[in-house]
Amino acid sequence: MKIINGTDNGGKLEFIWVPRILTIMYIIVLVVISMNGQKIGGSFFEIIKEILFYSTKAVIVAFALGIFWNRPYKAGFLMFILTMGFTGYYKSYQDIFEFMILTVIPLILALIFFYTYIKKDREEYEAEKKSIEDKVKKYSDSKPYSKENIKLNAKQKAKLRAKEK
């Protein structure tokens, strides 16, 4: 599977960036929508205060993404919580456009974060399983009936069984 820079990595890590990029795009959309038609004026600090006031939702999502950038499971959970918070606080269920922007999109982002976590966890498990199987095969080919090999195989097989549960 090809990724943005044209290299082929066997489809392993390219999906990990999708929820982060989509969340950044969502933040930009929130800022653009919140600033649409607002009259901002006054001193520099008043302008900053008004911009932050109008883009509170975007700031909250950006802060959450920054905190949980490397933890997709926690980012997905926090996006889910933000979805429920936005829906309740802003009463987005009353207008279909607000519902789509404040409820559906963050919910989809949360599900993508969860999927990324599950996929990454599964790939790590498969890589560890293959590594253990290679070690077991290497030792069993060299001295199949030695005490050390039998103990190693038992430990490795027990570790594999524990991982599968």
**Cβ contact 51:40 at 8 Å:** yes
45-84 pLDDT, tens digit each: 887 887 778 888 888 999 989 988 888 888 889 999 988 9
CA dist list (Å): 143 to 83, 132, 138, 160: 58, 17, 9, 21
Q: Which helix (H) or strand (E) holds 158?
A: helix 147-164
Domain boundaries, the chain: 14-121, 122-164
Binned at pLDDT 50, 70 and 90, residue 22 comes out as very high
Supply the pLDDT for residue 154.
65
77-98 pLDDT, tens digit each: 999 998 899 888 888 888 888 8
What phi and psi values does residue 113 have, to the nearest 5 degrees? -60, -45
3: helix, strand or coil: coil
CA dist list (Å): 81 to 10, 62, 88: 34, 14, 11
99-153 pLDDT, tens digit each: 888 889 999 999 999 888 888 777 777 777 788 777 777 766 555 555 555 555 6
